[in-house]
Amino acid sequence: MSSLPDRPDRPSPAEYRELLRAHLAPVLERAARSTHLPLAACADSVLAVPLRASVDLPLFVNSQMDGYAVRSVDIAGAGPDSPARLRVVGAVHAGDGRGHGVDDDEACKVMTGAPVPEGADCVVPVEDTRVSDTDPTAVLVVAPRSPGEFIRRPGDDVRAGDVVIDAGVRLAARHLAAAASLGESGLDVRPRPRVGVVATGSELVAPGRPLGPGQIWESNSITLAAALKACGCEVTTTTISGDDRGEFTAALDAATGDADLVVTAGAVSMGDAEVVRQVLADREGARFAPIAMQPGGPQGLSTWRGTPVVCLPGNPVSALVSFVVLLRPVILEAVGRSPVQPVRARLSRDVTSPAGKVQFLRAALGPDSGAGIPVVEPVSGSGSHLVASMARADVLVEIPADVTSLAAGTEVDAVAL
């Protein structure tokens, strides 16, 4: 399935992303379709088609304030020393009908959102009124109002047919509020890719459990599941598998059951117990070979029961860097989200890099350097085992394959983790 010619040199990260994109074509094609979801399930999804208003909003003439609906001509000369006395003919609350109409020198008490009675052309806020000391059926208005003040009319917010939310928008609470206000019970959104995660290694133990000799706590399944969810995927399963072929194939069977994609971590290199490579490398279209990248050189692509499988290295730093650099851009494309754009930053110190590989240094983005761009502080060396440095880092600094050293102050690209 490789679109690259056989050659002694390794593909660059950019070239490998194209291989990944081709490998995940079924996922991209499926995700490009729309699915209708209940409104409550649409948060953080991407809208597939524009949402147009089916009605005018507001739906009816209503009050913008708690106060009194009146005729503006009746209070034209009102002031603190010369209040207009109006007879109160009723009260209307939100959810009521229009209530009693308003005629000359009359007022109807209204609450915010309540229909404005027939005959009234403005609302006087309650703070501009006083209750009459001598007549409990009257209200004293101490300020004039113009026609239309504090009244909301149909179409003031949106007209039927207007685009309220554009296609491609990642739906937040405010978008769902707008859709609900239009009476929509659901929306057409881009489907979330369903992804199963399998972490491999007989030495791995779930966090919180006691360790035996030579064992370590497993983190890749948790890390990758969180990263996939942050990209808009639905993680269908997370599994830890040992290095036994039967155990791993059973884990693959479970992971592919209801998934569009399976991501594995570990066992892709050249060791004796590389079960992922041993089980998946001989399948049609599979590719297991290093790429010109550090950390994250060993990579694999295959399929299982018709489901694409992306095989990342097992070192926790290598797995996360591989995901961010290689797989995340393709996943974001699949869900319709914008790619993560690099920012320009200045190195805080000198760095070195191995020749022939694109280096991704973990780093922390600092404040503006005074030259209009921030400073970036590398927080580790090139070793892929430095897990603690990943916790302190918030960006990756990309160093091209033909560069072996960069001086402090050099501008570099920094990509958010």
Q: Which of 366, 369, 376, 375 is nearest to 396 (CA)?
A: 376
Sign of CA dihedral 56, 59, 65, 70: positive
Instruction: Using the 3D structure, point to which of 190, 212, 243 is the last residue of a domain.
Output: 190
Q: What is the pLDDT of residue 3?
A: 35
User: Does some domain include residue 6?
Assistant: no
Based on the fold, state whether residues 316 and 233 are members of the same structural domain. yes
User: Does some domain include residue 3?
Assistant: no
Based on the fold, state whether residues 19 and 95 are members of the same structural domain. no
Based on the fold, state whether residues 183 and 41 are members of the same structural domain. yes
Range of the domain at 375: 343-416
Indicate the helix (H) or strand (E) that contains 34.
none
- Say how many C-beta atoms besides its own lie within 10 A of residue 189's C-beta: 23
pTM assigned to the model: 0.83
Based on the fold, state whether residues 213 and 324 are members of the same structural domain. yes
Q: What is the pLDDT of residue 7?
A: 42
Based on the fold, state whether residues 147 and 89 are members of the same structural domain. yes
Q: What is the CATH number of the domain that holds 282?
A: 3.40.980.10
Based on the fold, state whether residues 289 and 326 are members of the same structural domain. yes
Based on the fold, state whether residues 170 and 229 are members of the same structural domain. no
Average model confidence (pLDDT) across the chain: 91
Q: What is the pLDDT of residue 1?
A: 34
8 A C-beta contact, residue 76 and residue 144: yes
CB neighbour class for 300 (10 Å; exposed up to 12, middle 13-18, buried from 19): buried
Based on the fold, state whether residues 183 and 209 are members of the same structural domain. no
User: Does some domain include residue 403?
Assistant: yes
User: Does some domain include residue 217?
Assistant: yes
User: Does some domain include residue 265?
Assistant: yes
Q: What is the pLDDT of residue 203?
A: 92
Q: What is the CATH number of the domain that holds 77?
A: 2.170.190.11
8 A C-beta contact, residue 261 and residue 234: no
Instruction: Using the 3D structure, point to which of 98, 123, 152 is the last residue of a domain.
Output: 152
The span from the CA of 200 to the CA of 101, in Å, is: 75
8 A C-beta contact, residue 70 and residue 124: yes
The span from the CA of 136 to the CA of 67, in Å, is: 16
Cα 325–Cα 231–Cα 259 angle in degrees, nearest 5: 100
Based on the fold, state whether residues 326 and 348 are members of the same structural domain. no
Tokens 């369903």 map to which residue?
194
Q: What is the CATH number of the domain that holds 182?
A: 3.90.105.10
8 A C-beta contact, residue 83 and residue 139: no
Q: What is the CATH number of the domain that holds 379?
A: 2.40.340.10
Q: What is the pLDDT of residue 392?
A: 86
User: Does some domain include residue 4?
Assistant: no
Domain count, the chain: 4
- Say how many C-beta atoms besides its own lie within 10 A of residue 380's C-beta: 19
User: Does some domain include residue 369?
Assistant: yes
Based on the fold, state whether residues 177 and 197 are members of the same structural domain. no
Based on the fold, state whether residues 241 and 325 are members of the same structural domain. yes
Task: Name residues of the chain where pLDDT drops below 50.
Answer: 1-7, 383-385
Q: What is the pLDDT of residue 134?
A: 84
User: Does some domain include residue 365?
Assistant: yes
Instruction: Using the 3D structure, point to which of 129, 152, 175 is the last residue of a domain.
Output: 152
Based on the fold, state whether residues 327 and 411 are members of the same structural domain. no
Q: What is the pLDDT of residue 131?
A: 87
